[in-house]
Chain A
């Protein structure tokens, strides 16, 4: 019975094919827009939230003159080589007011395995670390030894191993996605530095004089304890190790990026709102045309004894079917475009971008179907009631 009703509704829709196709197209465009805008803004916000977690230190000390490179590295994950002498870290540790400190050393490498691209090699100290740790997805208990590595989420490995400078390293764990190029880094324990540099040199990679020294580090991450201010700690650092460093404030970087994200989403919201209003206006116009054209048909049906309530239900179910099909089709079309191209969108906006999972895509689609059906209902209900309320006599006479 229900199936037959749906079939009749589809036949009714086909009877006014052109206008209903216009209505369907409008609904599809509206849903594609709604879906894409929500998915993109949610993913950018998620990427930003992740970024805040990653920029987990109060201050980061880098060699003098390398501030810009270091900031780019934090934000975009671009690869760079800059170094302190190894002894600087020990001196920094003696400064008052530091609650946590850890050091990292970066090394640009040639390709991993085949030839695909450079990876950034990061040496970190697993004992004092508080920057890399929170990103490790699968817990690993054993101490990170010289021949095991932690890799960023984008490093693809079929057999749990990665080949660097001719040597294979077992992958102990993989980090969660951060949404930036840091996802293509390989993290070694600091103990492995000497051996890796030796391998690199043997394999013919170009090493700078500094890198050949071995006892080097690139940045020192510091958390300041509650009783001191960051300025005090920076002052004491200047006194202890001299004027050889620049300071990067990871948390402030995040604030500035959030600001630009705010601007982007602001612009996107204004554009999509105006487009949305335009589309709703088009919906209203199409609905008014459809209902005007159907006035005689409705009047005839009323003359033939159909109840007003049944007619309203019939017209609403037609609208419901069109909006359901349009919203579903539109959301799926939006998903087909936005989800595969997610990384491209993030890259072109220069923002961390973390695409949605399957569950959240399904929730998003359901939500958009609901919203679109509600919009179409609100845009048509007035015309439907008006048409069914018109006296059959008047409706038929006007057509003469």
Chain B
């Protein structure tokens, strides 16, 4: 129960932060033209929603195997959070633009935190399974 509450809360929080980072907390470049970072913002909103939704689902599941699966998915989602700005949708080309100065670092931090949380949960679940 404790594990479910802690990790579900962590996933939901990180998912919300992934949504808020490029929109409110460290917004991408403001421009009338739709630049690369605009699409990264959209993609991150989607990724954040999925992460948060998986967090909510995680809370209601008792089966440890499914929870393990969700944790693995979250670990891969962490890669996606990073891959959008780094490779898939990209950012503005100039390195002094807001999206490179603020949004990208924030997404790096969030992605690493999500990967660490998911990895810790995977190890925890596998260990508790083998102790049975």
Interface residue ranges, A against B (CB under 8 Å): 112-117, 119, 154-156, 181, 183-184, 336-337, 340-341, 343-344, 347
Which residues of chain A come closer than 8 Å to B108, judged between CB atoms?
336, 340
If A114-B35, A115-B31 touch, whether A156 touches B93 (CB-CB below 8 Å) is: yes
Q: For chain A, what secondary structure do more than half of its interface residues adopt (helix, strand, loop), or is it mixed?
A: loop
Q: A340 contacts which of B35, B36, B93, B104 (Cβ < 8 Å)?
A: B104
Q: B95 contacts which of A114, A156, A337 (Cβ < 8 Å)?
A: A156
Which residues of chain A come closer than 8 Å to B95, judged between CB atoms?
154, 156, 183-184, 343
Which residues of chain A come closer than 8 Å to B33, judged between CB atoms?
115
Q: A117 contacts which of B97, B102, B112 (Cβ < 8 Å)?
A: B97
Which residues of chain B come closer than 8 Å to A114, judged between CB atoms?
35-36, 93
Residue-by-residue, is B60-89 near A (CB-CB < 8 Å gives 1, otherwise 0)? 000000000000000000000000000000
Number of inter-chain CB pairs below 8 Å:
58
A265 to B86, alpha carbons, bound, how many Å?
Answer: 33
B101: interface (CB < 8 Å): yes
Which residues of chain B come closer than 8 Å to A112, judged between CB atoms?
93-94
**Smallest beta-carbon distance B83→chain A, Å:** 16
Beta-carbon contact of B35 and A115 below 8 Å: yes
Beta-carbon contact of A344 and B96 below 8 Å: no
Which residues of chain A come closer than 8 Å to B9, judged between CB atoms?
none
Beta-carbon contact of B104 and A116 below 8 Å: no
Beta-carbon contact of A116 and B109 below 8 Å: no
**Smallest beta-carbon distance A175→chain B, Å:** 13
B105: interface (CB < 8 Å): yes
B28-48 at interface with A (beta carbon < 8 Å) = 29, 31, 33, 35-36
If A117-B97, A344-B101 touch, whether A336 touches B92 (CB-CB below 8 Å) is: no
Beta-carbon contact of B93 and A344 below 8 Å: no
A341 to B98, alpha carbons, bound, how many Å?
Answer: 12
Closest chain A residue to B92, Cβ basis: A116
Beta-carbon contact of B35 and A343 below 8 Å: no
Beta-carbon contact of B96 and A347 below 8 Å: yes
**Smallest beta-carbon distance A328→chain B, Å:** 14
If A115-B31, A115-B35, A336-B109 touch, whether A343 touches B97 (CB-CB below 8 Å) is: no
Which residues of chain B come closer than 8 Å to A115, judged between CB atoms?
31, 33, 35
Beta-carbon contact of B93 and A155 below 8 Å: yes
A181 to B100, alpha carbons, bound, how many Å?
Answer: 13
Closest chain B residue to A337, Cβ basis: B109
Beta-carbon contact of B94 and A117 below 8 Å: yes
A221 to B109, alpha carbons, bound, how many Å?
Answer: 43
Closest chain A residue to B26, Cβ basis: A344
Which residues of chain B come closer than 8 Å to A183, judged between CB atoms?
95-96
Which residues of chain B come closer than 8 Å to A119, judged between CB atoms?
94
Which residues of chain A come closer than 8 Å to B35, judged between CB atoms?
114-116
Given contacts A114-B35, A154-B95, A154-B96, 7 further A-B contacts (CB under 8 A): A113-B93, A116-B97, A117-B97, A340-B109, A343-B96, A347-B96, A347-B101
